[in-house]
């Protein structure tokens, strides 16, 4: 252990994963512990905020202890405590924020609050040593769809965002409608392999005011209308064809907007992040589009795409280096904007 090494204990509890990680010098993950609540929420078809908060309280100490044990470090050897303080479910965020504040206070260590999306973007640094800003990043998760210009560590310009549903939300809603259950993304991904993506033509929405923005609610309605029409006509629905055609419609739009941003902003590096970034069809389509254009394409392993604390530790390292520190007044901010520091 060198004097100047920076060990960050990071905590993430913004939605339905209770997670803690220890990250060394920004990019070396010493431990990454994730306690998922998915099974608890599956019966309700989505995340129930109250249940999420209670489960975080139950799990958080265990998860932190395990993260320290796996990293082979004691609390005293940690340089700083990082935590997601927004956006997310307020009750869920509060559990992580309160825990981080208590640890920072008791240990007299610096406290660093991190934006959840900044964490998702930073997940790309973990496995790609050569990746440095600037680059374009597509962030697609259950709650967000953002096309971001990463100008520097911690400096972002949002080029486009969703006007209604997030990409992951659309996956989850369509999966429920075709009887696949929650969480829908991975299930649609799998079932689509058996389906024909050209079987049904679903709309690719354009947003007139900002060509980088997304809109997925029309697509979701088109799928529901298709299902209703089939039912009224007494026709059987091919689940795999609906899944594959829906997925193709989402992927086409994500790829088109991303490539437009890379070209118009003159970048040669592009990255993806968030839960939907683990979608195999999206990865393949983006890999093809990038290779045709000579663009370097970066994506995290699936474990770093969905919610985890290692990505928060990585983001926190760069904030730490910039001198960002939070006081004990740090609070959960459910609607925190990317690039905003409170």
162: partner contacted, choices ligand KG4, Zn ion, none (Cβ within 5-8 A by kind): none
**Of the residues 8, 11, 15, 271, which one makes contact with ligand KG4 according to CB under 6 A:** 15
Site string for ligand KG4, 163-182 (x = CB under 6 A): -----x--xx----------
**Of the residues 307, 309, 318, 338, which one makes contact with ligand KG4 according to CB under 6 A:** 307
Give the containing element (helix H, strand E) for 177. helix 167-177
**Contact between residue 69 and residue 46 where contact means Cβ atoms under 8 Å apart:** no
151 contact partners, CB below 8 Å, separation of at least 6: 133, 134, 157
Q: What is the total count of residues that contact Zn ion (CB under 5 A)? A: 2
CB of 216 to ligand KG4, least distance (A): 12
Calpha distance 93→332 (Å, rounded) = 6
CB of 166 to ligand KG4, least distance (A): 7
Using rule CB under 5 A, residue 141 touches Zn ion: yes
Helix/strand/coil percent split, the chain, to 5: 45, 20, 35
Q: What is the total count of residues that contact ligand KG4 (CB under 6 A)? A: 19
Using rule CB under 5 A, residue 165 touches Zn ion: no
DSSP code per residue over 259-321: HHHHHHTT-SEEEEESGGGG-HHHHHHHHHHHHHHT-EEE---HHHHSS-SHHHHHHHHHHHH
Q: Where are the beta strands (DSSP E) in the chain?
A: 7-12, 17-24, 28-36, 80-86, 111-115, 135-140, 145-152, 155-161, 269-273, 296-298
**Of the residues 18, 141, 145, 245, which one makes contact with ligand KG4 according to CB under 6 A:** 141
**Of the residues 26, 96, 143, 195, which one makes contact with ligand KG4 according to CB under 6 A:** 143
**Of the residues 192, 239, 279, 314, which one makes contact with ligand KG4 according to CB under 6 A:** 279
Structure-block tokens of residue 241: 């064809």
Options 47-55, 134-142, 221-229, 265-273: segment touching Zn ion (CB under 5 A): 134-142
Reduced to 3 states (helix: H, G, I; strand: E, B; else coil), residue 1 is: coil
Using rule CB under 5 A, residue 16 touches Zn ion: no
Interface with Zn ion in residues 275-314 (CB under 5 A): 307
Residues in the site for ligand KG4, rule: CB under 6 A?
Answer: 15, 141-143, 168, 171-172, 183-186, 189, 274-276, 278-279, 306-307
């Amino acid at each position: 252990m060198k004097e100047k090494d920076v060990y960050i204990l990071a905590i993430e509890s913004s939605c339905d994963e209770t997670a803690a990680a220890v990250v060394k010098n920004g990019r070396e993950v010493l431990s990454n512990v994730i306690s998922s609540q998915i099974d608890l929420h599956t019966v309700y078809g989505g995340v129930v905020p109250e249940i999420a908060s209670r489960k975080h309280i139950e799990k958080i100490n265990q998860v932190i202890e395990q993260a320290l044990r796996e990293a082979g470090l004691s609390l005293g050897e940690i340089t700083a405590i990082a935590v997601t303080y927004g956006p997310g479910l307020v009750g869920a965020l509060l559990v992580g924020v309160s825990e981080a504040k208590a640890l920072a206070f008791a240990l007299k260590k610096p406290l660093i609050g991190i934006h959840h999306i900044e964490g998702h973007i930073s997940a790309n640094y973990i496995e790609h040593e050569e990746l440095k800003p600037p680059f374009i990043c597509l962030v697609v998760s259950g709650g967000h769809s953002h096309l971001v210009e990463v100008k520097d560590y911690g400096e972002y310009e949002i080029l486009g965002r969703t006007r209604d549903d997030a990409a992951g939300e659309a996956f989850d809603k369509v999966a429920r409608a075709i009887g696949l259950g929650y969480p829908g993304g991975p299930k649609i991904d799998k079932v689509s392999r058996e389906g024909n993506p050209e079987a049904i033509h679903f709309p690719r929405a354009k947003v007139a005011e900002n060509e980088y923005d997304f809109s997925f609610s029309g697509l979701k309605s088109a799928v529901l209308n298709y299902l209703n029409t089939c039912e009224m006509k007494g026709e059987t629905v091919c689940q795999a064809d609906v899944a594959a055609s829906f997925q193709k419609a989402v992927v086409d739009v994500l790829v088109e907007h991303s490539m437009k941003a890379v070209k118009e902003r003159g970048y040669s590096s592009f990255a993806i992040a968030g839960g939907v970034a683990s979608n195999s069809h999206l990865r393949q389509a983006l890999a093809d589009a990038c290779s045709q254009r000579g663009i370097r394409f970066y994506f995290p392993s699936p474990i770093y795409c969905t919610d985890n604390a290692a990505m928060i530790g990585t983001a926190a390292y760069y904030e730490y280096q910039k001198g960002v520190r939070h006081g004990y007044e740090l609070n959960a901010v459910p609607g925190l904007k990317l690039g905003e520091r409170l």
